[in-house]
Amino acid sequence: MNIDSIQNGVVIDHIKAGKSMEIYNLLQLYNLDCPVALITNAHSGKMGAKDIIKIDSENLDIDLDVIGLIDPNATVNIIRHGQLVEKKALTLPLELRDVLKCKNPRCITSVEQDLSHVFRLTDKQSGTYRCLYCEAKAERRN
């Protein structure tokens, strides 16, 4: 299989195998009007298998927190004129806004529809996030 390199855009690399579709959906990449390539189960010497997402677009704003939530070991490579110009390492985000939804029916976010769903990282080891308003627990997606 041959996937062409991109000239200007973003390559999300070293994604845990099987997680690229989740990133694709959370970032709503299906709404983009540019080529997007999802490569699943690509051979990796380090990881065994990995997923890769290539987005061929010059003006692209990606929420790195979403990628960090799904796979904090992924890397984001910025490509300009066919050359790697920046490589970003990710971590678990300290705060997530409107990425996770609070499942507590008594939470104020259930009543106030315009209120943002805000979660803060409370345990880095387990990847536990808690709702800012009601302290309801949300597990990181492994």
Provide the pLDDT for residue 45. 86
Give residue 62's pLDDT band: very low, low, confident or very high (50, 70, 90): confident
Q: Taking the domain 95-139, which CATH number applies?
A: 2.30.30.20
pLDDT digits (tens, 9 = 90+) for 71-108: 999 999 999 999 999 999 899 999 999 889 999 999 99
Mean pLDDT across 46-70? 90
Query: Of 97, 103, 140, 101, nearest to 122 (Cα)?
Result: 140
Domain positions in the chain: 9-89, 95-139
| HSE, side-chain direction, 13 A CA sphere, residue 100 | 25
- 35-63 burial string, b = 16+ CB within 10 Å, else e? ebebbeebeeeeeeebbbbbbbbeeeebb
SS3 per-residue string spanning 51-73: EEEEECCCCCCCCHHHHHHHCCC
Q: Does domain 9-89 have CATH number 3.40.718.10?
A: no
